[in-house]
């Protein structure tokens, strides 16, 4: 009898199952990494939107405080408007109200309307609203008093 040598490459069932398990784990880890990366970019975008809103709100508060100080010091509406025209685009001041816009980004702006009482030297906030120019991703709304 002749001895037959089998020199072929043999893989057992255990090895095949192990390779399949490793491929499944690699696939799930790649999907998990992709999802985490997408979540991170969405979070960074939301942080940028919130930061832009806070910066615009701070600027609007500074303008409101400047108007309040000028009303208390007896400035006329024309003097207030001329003084703040270089700092605030589109400010309109008349005997009863002051309106101005603070640009947040290319997608939104903060629209502020103040009620003025020059006799009693007081200011009331009529509206303080974030207006969207693009409904794509900028969906944070302000509040309307």
What pLDDT shows up at residue 2? 63
Whether 25 is in a domain gets the answer: yes
Are the C-beta atoms of residues 102 and 84 closer than 8 Å to each other? Answer: no
Whether 63 is in a domain gets the answer: yes
Q: Does 145 or 85 have the greater pLDDT score?
A: 85
Model pTM greater than 0.85? no
Whether 2 is in a domain gets the answer: no
What pLDDT shows up at residue 12? 81
Give residue 39's domain range.
13-132
Whether 68 is in a domain gets the answer: yes
Whether 1 is in a domain gets the answer: no
Token couple for 54? 């806070």
Say how far apart CA 117 and CA 98 lie, in whole Å.
11
Please count the structural domains in the chain: 1
Answer whether residue 78 shows pLDDT above 50. Answer: yes
Whether 37 is in a domain gets the answer: yes
Answer whether residue 76 shows pLDDT above 50. Answer: yes
Answer whether residue 141 shows pLDDT above 60. Answer: no
What pLDDT shows up at residue 144? 40
* CA contacts within 13 A on the Cβ side of 143: 3
List 88's β-bridge partners, or say none.
none
Coil vs helix vs strand at 15: helix
């Amino acid at each position: 009898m002749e001895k037959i040598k089998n020199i072929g490459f043999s893989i057992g069932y255990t090895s095949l199952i192990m390779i399949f398990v490793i491929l499944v784990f690699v696939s799930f880890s790649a999907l998990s990494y992709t999802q985490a990366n997408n979540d991170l970019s969405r979070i960074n975008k939301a942080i940028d939107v919130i930061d832009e809103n806070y910066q615009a709100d701070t600027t609007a508060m500074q303008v409101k405080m400047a108007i309040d100080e000028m009303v208390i010091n007896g400035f006329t509406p024309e003097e207030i408007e001329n003084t703040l025209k270089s700092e605030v685009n589109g400010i309109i001041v008349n005997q009863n109200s002051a309106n101005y816009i603070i640009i947040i980004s290319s997608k939104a702006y903060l629209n502020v309307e103040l009620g003025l009482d020059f006799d009693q030297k007081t200011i009331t906030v009529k509206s303080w609203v974030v207006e969207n120019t693009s409904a794509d991703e900028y969906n944070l709304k302000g509040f309307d008093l």
